[in-house]
Every structure is written in C-alpha cells, then in structure tokens.
Chain A
Amino acid sequence: MKQLTEITTPFGEVAAAKPLPGTELGWLQQLRDQAKAQFERHGLPAKKVEDWKYTSLWQLSQEGFSHDANEVSLGKTELAHVAALEDAYRFVIIDGRLNAVLSEIDNLEAGLSIKPLAEALDQAENMLGDQIDLEKPGLNAINTMLMHDGLALHVEAGQKISKPIELLVISTAENPKLASHLRNLIQVDADAEVTLLEHYVSLAETAGFTDVVTEVKLAENARLNHFKLQHESLAHYHIATLASKQAAGSIWNTNNISLGGKLARNDIHSQLLGEEAHVTLDGLYLVTGDQHVDNHTRIDHAAPNTTSDEVYKGVLDGNSHAVFNGKVNVHKDAQKTDSSQSNKNLLLSRSCEIDTKPELEIYADDVKCAHGSTVGQIDEQHLFFLRARGLDETAARSLLTYAFAVDVLQRIKSAPMRQALSNVIEKRLPKGA
C-alpha cells in the first residue's frame, strides 16, 4: 500500500475547505470526527484487505479530484432525455449539487416526503449511519466525513406511493475531475410501499468520482423496489455502499445494473432482522474495454423464516475485469432460512477476466441454501442453430448475448421500469436483428 499521508491528503483537506451541512448538529459532528479518526487510521483499503483483493483504489487516489463545482443546470427537455423514467418524481443532482428547480420536492402525494439531505439531517440522528459499518474497509468513513448532498426519502406508514422516484445523479463536462460524496437516506414505514431508481449518468466522457452511500430502513411489512442504473463515463469512478436494515415481513427488491465507469464498486448489504423479511438482490454488469466492476453483496439472515434470492449476471468483453463476491451469513437463530444465489458470467473475449466467489456461513441447522456460479462462452450449438435459421453471425452472437442477460430484466415486475431499463440495455446489447 502507498503512504497513508499521500492518499489521505486529497480527501483530508476538503473537510476543512468546503462548508458541509449539519455542522451545528453535535451528534453529527461527533460522527464525522469518528469517521475522520477511522480514515486516518486505515486510509483507503489496500489490496491485502480480502474484500479489496481484486480492486485497487491506487489510481483513484492519484487522480487529484477537485471538490469545487460550478453550478450547472439543464433545460427541461434535456433532462427528459437523460431521465430513464417518464412518469416519476425526479430528484436531480448535477455535478454533486441538488438542482431544486428540476427536482420535485414540494406538493407531493400524501405520505411521501422527498428532501435534500441537508434539510433532513436534523431529524436523522437515529437513521444516519445506522445501516453501515464505519470500520469496514472501504469509503464509508470518507463518505461520512465529506457527504454534502443526497436524497432523503420517507414514506409514512400504510402509504403506497403511486409513482416511482428517480434519483438522477448527473455528471457534466462543465466540472471535470469532480468528486461528489452523496448520502441517501431511504425510510419506509410499516406497510408502506415505494419504488426508487437511483440513476447515475455522465453527459460527457469526462473523468469524475461518485462516492455514494445509500442507507435503507424498512419497517414491518414495508416494501421497497430499489433499482440502480449506473452508466457513467468510461473515465468515471463509482464507489457505492447500499445497506439496509429490514424489520419483520419487509421486502427489499433490488436490481443493480452497472454499465459504465472505469471502476465501479458496489457493496450491498441486507440485514434481515425480523421474521419473514425478504430480500432480492439482482444485478447485471456489462463491461468492455478496460472497465473494472466489482460487486460485493452480503446478506445477513439474522431472524428465523427469512428469505433471500440473488441473481447476478455479467457480460464481459475486451480487457474488462469483473468481480463478484456474494456472502450469505445465516445466524444461529435464523432457522428455516431459505436462500438462493447465483452468479453467471458470459465471456466474449479472451482477455477479459472474472473473479467470482460465493461465500456461505451457516450457523443454523434447519436451512435451505443454494448457490452456484458459472463462467462460460457463447454456446456453439446455439450459434449454429441461429445461423441455420438465417441470422448472420454478428446478429446471432448479439442475440445470444442479449438472451443471456435478459432474465435479470424479466425478473422486474413493473412493466414501465422493465421497459425503461431494457431500452438502456438494448443500446449496449442490441438484440441482433
């Protein structure tokens, strides 16, 4: 690992330079101090840390990202082009700053509250930081020190929100080499239901850095359909933590689609704390060129009768490198846990690389756990069949690639969401005909 001081400096100085929200809150100040101390002790994770074995942050630390951005806005029509969903409540962050004009914050339907992070902090003492582990090697500490913007979403008990919320995080060419540290707080109260799409996108092929932590708290029988679409520029770094605590009977359906970035890392953690809580962790990564994508997921079955269902699929081309690590931890008292996990990878080139590893730790005796991972290439028999039906080789290959990935999309229940995400994916994976 590189000298701690070298790596610390670019981030360390910022804390002083930039006015951060919530400085008047004692508990928050304390938390930030704690985070700073943690970061000073450990710095960025080195490759000798098991969870970061395949993903190096060395280059990131050398990029010299800035934290000052000029304010940028977009026209409404331009925004409509960038947005994935037509009919949604939009919350728009451009180059790290909330754009209040383009966001729908006021006059929402009953039971729904959407606020900028800064305005939610004074009521966030029990929420903020509760879902994540500051000590965990990664960027949780940096994010806690430097978080400046984000979405605070709250749904009151019993409310079923009629439209999805699209959190749009846009990077423009106006502020190249910008680092953003975002914190999203998502709280769904008992028996309530809402759909959220986190959408990260670049408008130009410029370098940038998005560091985002999304914390999710689901009360009893709450349901969150949580989508993430990341297609930032090929020069962009994206490092995210997505962590939930789930009470009894709650459902967290996630679908995490990674298309962009030079380096993208997701740490996704579900804590099933009450009986009959369920989590779906689905994901799709399509990487090519020199892209590097790393998904680390962890599910804690900490109560009896909890269920989890995980399907991650990857398509790798060029010199890309993908990492999948799926931990499932069944605690001692979590009898009748039912967990299934699969990670399947399709390699389209000889020089791409995949490291995939399921990790099961089971401390209960009456459980059902299935897991498996595969790495393969396009099936020659399938290819010949399609060519024998008249499809040329290129078309047949791209159809089979699309077909490999499509079941992750087919698992999306909401038709408009499925359509929106398919549209984006079909641009990368043409169906072939």
Chain B
Amino acid sequence: MLEIKNLHASVGGKEILRGINMSVNPGEVHAIMGPNGAGKSTLSNVLAGREGYEVTQGEVIYKGENLLELEPEERAQRGVFLAFQYPVEIPGVSNIYLLKAALNAVRKYQGLEEVDAIDFLNLVRDRMKLVKMDEQFLHRNVNEGFSGGEKKRNEILQMAVLEPALAILDETDSGLDIDALRVVAEGVNALRAEDRSIVMITHYQRLLDHIVPDFVHVLSEGRIVKSGDKELAKELEKSGYSWVHDAPEGQTA
C-alpha cells in the first residue's frame, strides 16, 4: 500500500524529516508516536502534498505510483486521506456541499457517475451515525463554530464518506475529552477493513487503548527510532519520550 524509503524533507531550508523508512500493508493500522516537534505533522503534510515542504531525498510509493509527483487532489482521488490536526473553518461552504464535491471528485477519477442525490443522503446519514453527529451539522459551514471535538468528528465523517484506501490521522485524539475520544475511536474502528490502511499519529498512548494498532513507531527528530507492536506504546507511557533521544538509530524491537 505505502512504502516510505529514506524520506528527507525540509521546511524553509531546515531539515525536519531525516530519513524515514516505513512500510504499510493493506489492512494494517500503524501508530506513529513521538514528542512535540518530532516531525509527525510534517510527515503527514508531505504525504498529502502540502506546499512548502521540500523533499530532498528518498521516495514514497503508494499503490505502485510515485506519490510525491502527484498533486494533492490526485492523491486524494487515488484514496489518500489526511485527517488534519487543526481542521480549518471554511465560511460559505456547507458541510454537505463539501462531502458531495469530494465524493464526486473521487468517483470521477474512478470513472463513476456523480452520486445520485438520494443515495448520497442515505450514505451521509448512515456515516453520521458512526460518529454520532447530528444532521444539522450537514447544513452548517465546514467547521465554522464547531467545538474542537466536533471538528475532529467532522474529519472522521469525511473519511467515512470517502472510504479512502490510506487514511492518515494526525492527532485526531488531541483536544478530545474521554467521551469524544471513544466516539472517534469507534468511528475509526468501524472503518478498519482488509483493504484499508490507517496511519495514526498521536502524542499519547490513550488513543491506542481504543484503536489497537498492529505496529507502533516512535518518531524523534525526524527519524523513526524504534518500531514494535502495541506493547511499545505501553512502555512509552511508563518511561515517556526522554529516552528516545538516546536510542540508537533505527533500532527495532
């Protein structure tokens, strides 16, 4: 599904990612953990194609294609989805309009017709239940006046409607209280599928109590310094991130 090889990237001349290697197979859930400033959001932005990030070395192969050569929309149309750490508010664009436009963009790439109005409404209603969102949110502008938790749920709603092959969730748990966390986690769990890979970026272990990953990676100073299974996350919780700076490069558990 996704193969990241020796990825180096810099922002404003400063190298942030310093040789990331990672391989994600269909159906797997990977967690990337790491302290603030480690480069987690940088990695997700590079994968989604945000401007301003310069890839200086390495490559990213997604479903056999060179992902880094594609425009952001081409990546999205091919099934790459980024749930943003800080979802933006978009005045004047209603949630339902966004969902429909996004879904139709994917369908167009897949050679399908625009979604039928009634099918679409049924789909959206169904997916809203998954994240326990009230229908009134459909007619509100994207994220405008939403609470932190509502914004995060809205990201998961978009994921649920678009059914991506690869979802990258950037700190979808941050800023959520325990109930909201549970709702979001249940939503994500319901979207786990054999042909869908999920990369969860988080600072805390608590999300991983709800969405149990197949693999855990520790990112520090732009490198993956340790990889393991879910037990690694528990270790991290006990000992914090202070040790990661001392860990030998590329060590695996």
State the A residues within 8 Å of B (CB).
379-382, 384-393, 395-396, 399-400, 402-407, 431-433
Contacts and interface: CB of A to CB of B under 8 A. Distances in A.
Query: Which residue among A382, A384, A396 has the maximum number of chain B CB atoms within 10 Å of its CB?
Result: A384
A393 B71 contact: yes
Contacts, number: 80
A94 B93 CA distance: 38
B101 A395 contact: yes
Interface in B86-109: 87-88, 90-93, 97-98, 100-102, 104-106, 109
Interface stretch (B72-80, B123-131, B187-195, B206-214): B72-80
In terms of DSSP, what is the predominant structure of the interface of chain A? helix
B51 A402 contact: no
Nearest to A406: B92
Given A380-B51, A402-B92, A406-B92, A388 B104 contact: no
B76 A389 contact: yes
A382 B88 contact: yes
B49 interface: yes
B88 A390 contact: no
Nearest to B72: A387
The range of chain B's interface size is: 20 to 34
B158 interface: yes
Nearest to A392: B73
Give 5 closest A-B pairs by Cβ, nearest first. Answer: A403-B92, A390-B105, A433-B101, A390-B76, A389-B102
B93 A403 contact: yes
Contacts of A433: 97, 100-101, 104-105
Contact of B50 (A384, A389, A391, A392): A384
A399 B93 contact: yes
A388 B76 contact: yes
A390 B92 contact: no
Query: Which residue among B82, B93, B158 has the maximum number of chain A CB atoms within 10 Å of its CB?
Result: B93
Given A395-B101, A403-B92, A432-B101, A389 B158 contact: yes
B52 to A, nearest CB: 9
Given A402-B92, A407-B92, A387 B100 contact: no
B219 to A, nearest CB: 21
B92 A391 contact: no
B48 interface: yes
Nearest to A407: B92
